[in-house]
Amino acid sequence: LLKHLDGDLSGSELAPSIAVNQTSLGTVVGRGRPVVVPLAGKTEEHLFTKLSEPVASSSLLAVPVRYEDDTFGVLMCVAMGAYRFSDDDKHLVTALSSFGASSIQNSRLYAKVFTVEEGLRRSERLTALGLLSAEVAHEIRNPLTVMKLLSDTLSQGMAPDDPKVEDLGVMRARHEQGPVGRVPGCRSP
């Protein structure tokens, strides 16, 4: 019956030919209150007519499984044969339903916590990777900067037509396009 509320019984022989909100179980979900079905096989909507005889001649107590304003199921209590459910029976099944709803809500919250924790772990790994790449880029950039300064110093004393000036110019250009410059976030401003 819980599966029917999710629509999982469509096409099966137990699927009723009326909408859920027109049934006793739909009333439980819609109004959020317990419903008693005195004889399961003789409901107005004939929801339980295809059930086996012991269940069809039983009494049902349906209680919503809800947390705050969210109803996410129905807890069924079946009494074999004709039975009149007392107020104590209704309170007991309602209490069980509340415990079940709290458990379901707790499991949902734990799932969210685990999802958030996994996201934080992933974020921490990416942060560590970013810090590592910045450290590596820094370690590479220091010697390259020294080489660039040396090439600038060497080119100052040379004649403009000296072939070494052209080589030093290529070195400086390559320095600007070097591996450190290609690492995202590692370029100097």
If asked whether residues 12 and 97 sit together in one domain, one would say yes
- CA-CA-CA-CA torsion for 77, 5, 64, 114, nearest 10 degrees? 110
If asked whether residues 26 and 65 sit together in one domain, one would say yes
If asked whether residues 84 and 9 sit together in one domain, one would say yes
Within 10 A of 137 (CB to CB), how many other CB atoms are there? 19
If asked whether residues 23 and 82 sit together in one domain, one would say yes
Q: Of 49, 40, 53, whose CA–CA distance to 18 is shortest?
A: 49
If asked whether residues 135 and 98 sit together in one domain, one would say no
Q: Evaluate whether 62 touches 34 at the Cβ level (below 8 Å).
A: yes
DSSP string, 26-92: HHHHHH-S-EEESSGGG-TT-TTTTS-HHHHTSEEEEEEEEETTEEEEEEEEEESSS----HHHHHH
**pLDDT digit string (tens) for 63-118?**
999 988 888 888 888 888 888 999 999 999 999 999 999 998 999 899 999 999 99
Does some domain include residue 142?
yes
If asked whether residues 103 and 161 sit together in one domain, one would say no
Structural domain of 168:
125-182
Does some domain include residue 119?
no
**pLDDT digit string (tens) for 47-64?**
555 555 666 677 888 899
pTM beyond cutoff 0.75: no
Q: Which of 88, 112, 136 is the last residue of a domain?
A: 112
If asked whether residues 98 and 129 sit together in one domain, one would say no
User: Average pLDDT, whole number, for the chain?
Assistant: 77
Provide the token pair at 175: 């320095």
If asked whether residues 59 and 136 sit together in one domain, one would say no
